[in-house]
C-alpha cells in the first residue's frame, strides 16, 4: 500500500487529507474528540514537511444538503487547539469559500473544508455523480492522503474516486489501524479472545464466521445475546431478538464446538420493567428471564455481575483480545456495569487489547477510561468489522492495499 513517503517532497504542495472527524456533538459542543486526536500524527507530519494541508471530512448524516447542526466549524476550532496553531475554516466544500481558503494557504498552513456530506455527490449511488464531485475536490489539491479509516469500507467520492484522480497514499492512522488488524488475523498470540456485544447479532455474524477458526474464546453480551439464548431454547421476554437468525446462530454454536472454541454466554442478566434509567430492574439467571415480576414484558438491558466477572477473568487470562459492542445499555447508569467490568479487564491484558471503535470506543471514554489504558482503540467500528470478516475494502484497495 502506498505511503506518504511515496508522494515525494510535499513542500508547498496542496495536500488534501481525507480524515474521519465524525465526532459526537451536543448543542454544538464536541463530547468526544478521540477521532480528532487520532488524526493529529498525519496532520503534524504534513505540516512539518511544509505542505499546505486541506482537510476534508464528513460529520453525521445531513442527506446531501447543508445543515448547521452538522457543521465542521467546532471541529476546526478543536483541531486548532490541539495543534496549537491557527486553522482556517471554509464555509463550503467545493465553492468560492473553499477555493479562496485554499488559495490563501501558506506552507505549513491548515484549512478545514465544510462537511463533505453537504454535497449529494459524496455518497451518491451513481458512479458519475460521485466522480463529478470528486473532480471538484481534486481541483483544490495536488495530492491526496487518505487517513479516514472509519470510511475505507465505503465507496464514496472522497474515499475512492478522489484517490483515482490525484496521486494518493495512506496516512499514518490507516497504517496503524491495519497493523493492529493484521495482528488480530495473522498468527495472533494465544489465548485469543473475542468479545462481541451491541444490539444486533446480524451485524456480527460475518465476524463470528471468519474468526471462529482463529480464536480460543468468544464472549457474547449486549442485545445480541438474546438471540443466542433463544437459539438454546430459553425464553427472553421482550428482550431484543432476531428470530430470523436463530438457525444461523445454532450453526455457529455447533461449529464452535467442532473447532474446540469456547462460546461463553452470560449466566445472569439484568432484567428491567421497561427501557429507561428509572426502570425497575433485577438480576436473574439467564435461563429464567421471564420468571421475574416483569414476566414476559421484562427486557434484558445488561449482563449480570456474575457473568461480567466471568468474562473479565477470561479476558485477563488472554494474550490477544478484540472487543466490539457494549455489554448493555451503558448510557444508563443502572445498566453500565457489564460494559465497565469488561473495559476494566481489557486494561489488564498482558498482550494486545483492542477496542473495536464505534459504541465500544464511546463507552470506554464515557465510563472514564483513558485511551492509553488499552493497546489500541480503533477509529472505525464498521471498517474494523468488515476487515475482520475478510471483506475487501474499496478505500484501501484504491491505495494499493492487497
Q: Which residues are annotated as a binding site for substrate?
A: 20-22, 35, 58-61, 117, 154
CA distances from 178 to 35, 147, 150, 283, 304 (A): 16, 11, 12, 40, 34
Helices (H) and strands (E) in the chain, counts: 14, 17
Q: Which residues are annotated as a binding site?
A: 20-22, 35, 58-61, 117, 154, 204, 300, 331, 357-360
Q: How far apart are CA 294 and CA 265, in angstroms?
A: 22
Work out whether strand 376-377 and strand 217-220 pair parallel, antiparallel, or are unpaired. Answer: unpaired
Of 200, 262, 316, 319, catalytic: 200
382 is catalytic: yes
Please compute, for residue 270, the number of CA atoms within 13 A of its CA located in the half-sphere on the CB side: 29
Of 64, 80, 206, 382, catalytic: 382
- Write out the E strands in 161-318: 168-170, 192-196, 217-220, 262-264, 268-272, 281-285, 299-303
Q: Which three cell numbers stand for residue 354?
A: 483492542
What one-character DSSP code corresponds to residue 398? T
Q: Are 167 and 193 in contact (CB under 8 A)?
A: no
Query: What's the distance, CA 271 to chain centroid?
Result: 28
200 is catalytic: yes
Select from 386, 382, 360, 370 the least CA-distant residue to 196: 360
Q: How far apart are CA 116 and CA 129, in angstroms?
A: 14
Count of residues making up the chain: 402
Rg (CA), the chain: 23
Query: What's the distance, CA 91 to chain centroid?
Result: 27
Q: Which three cell numbers stand for residue 370?
A: 483513558
Of 14, 18, 34, 35, catalytic: 35
| Residue 348 dihedral angles phi and psi, to the nearest 5° | -105, 5
Q: Which residues are annotated as a binding site for ATP?
A: 204, 300, 331, 357-360
Q: Which three cell numbers stand for residue 285?
A: 439467571
Owner of C-alpha cell 492495499: 401
What one-character DSSP code corresponds to residue 339? H
Of 358, 380, 381, 395, catalytic: 358
The set of catalytic residues is 35, 200, 358, 382
Amino acid at each position: 500500500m502506498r505511503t506518504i513517503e511515496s508522494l515525494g517532497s510535499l513542500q508547498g504542495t496542496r495536500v488534501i487529507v481525507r480524515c474521519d472527524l465524525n465526532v459526537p456533538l451536543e448543542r454544538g459542543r464536541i463530547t468526544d474528540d478521540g477521532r480528532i486526536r487520532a488524526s493529529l500524527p498525519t496532520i503534524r507530519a504534513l505540516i512539518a514537511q511544509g505542505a499546505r494541508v486541506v482537510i476534508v471530512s464528513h460529520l453525521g448524516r445531513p442527506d446531501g444538503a447543508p445543515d448547521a447542526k452538522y457543521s465542521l466549524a467546532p471541529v476546526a476550532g478543536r483541531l486548532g487547539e490541539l495543534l496549537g496553531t491557527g486553522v482556517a475554516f471554509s464555509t463550503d466544500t467545493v465553492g468560492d469559500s473553499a477555493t479562496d481558503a485554499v488559495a490563501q494557504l501558506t506552507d505549513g498552513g491548515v484549512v478545514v473544508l465544510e462537511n463533505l456530506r453537504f454535497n449529494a455527490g459524496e455518497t451518491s449511488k451513481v458512479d458519475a455523480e460521485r466522480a463529478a464531485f470528486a473532480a471538484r475536490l481534486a481541483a483544490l489539491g495536488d495530492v491526496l492522503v487518505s487517513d479516514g479509516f472509519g470510511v475505507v469500507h465505503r465507496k464514496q467520492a472522497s474515499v475512492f474516486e478522489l484517490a483515482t484522480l490525484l496521486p494518493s497514499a495512506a496516512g499514518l492512522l490507516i497504517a496503524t489501524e491495519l497493523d493492529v488488524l493484521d495482528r488480530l488475523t495473522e498468527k495472533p498470540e494465544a489465548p485469543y479472545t473475542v468479545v462481541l456485544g451491541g444490539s444486533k447479532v446480524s451485524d456480527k455474524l460475518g465476524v463470528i464466521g471468519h474468526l471462529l477458526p482463529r480464536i480460543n474464546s468468544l464472549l457474547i453480551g449486549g442485545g445480541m445475546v438474546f438471540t443466542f439464548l433463544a437459539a438454546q431454547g430459553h425464553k427472553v421476554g421482550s428482550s431484543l431478538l432476531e428470530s430470523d437468525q436463530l438457525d444461523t446462530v445454532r450453526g455457529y454454536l455447533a461449529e464452535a464446538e467442532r473447532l474446540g472454541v469456547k462460546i461463553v454466554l452470560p449466566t445472569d442478566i439484568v432484567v428491567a420493567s421497561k427501557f429507561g434509567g428509572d426502570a425497575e430492574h433485577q438480576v436473574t439467571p439467564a435461563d429464567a428471564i421471564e420468571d421475574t415480576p416483569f414476566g414476559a414484558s421484562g427486557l434484558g438491558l445488561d449482563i449480570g455481575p456474575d457473568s461480567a466477572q466471568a468474562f473479565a477473568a477470561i479476558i485477563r487470562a488472554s494474550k490477544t483480545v478484540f472487543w466490539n459492542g457494549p455489554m448493555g445499555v451503558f448510557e444508563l447508569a443502572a445498566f453500565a456495569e457489564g460494559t465497565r467490568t469488561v473495559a476494566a479487564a481489557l486494561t489488564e491484558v498482558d498482550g494486545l487489547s483492542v477496542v473495536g471503535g464505534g459504541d465500544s470506543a464511546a463507552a470506554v471514554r464515557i465510563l472514564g477510561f483513558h485511551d492509553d489504558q488499552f493497546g489500541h482503540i480503533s477509529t472505525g467500528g464498521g471498517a474494523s468489522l468488515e476487515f475482520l470478516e475478510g471483506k475487501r475494502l474499496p478505500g484501501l484497495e484504491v491505495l494499493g492495499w492487497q
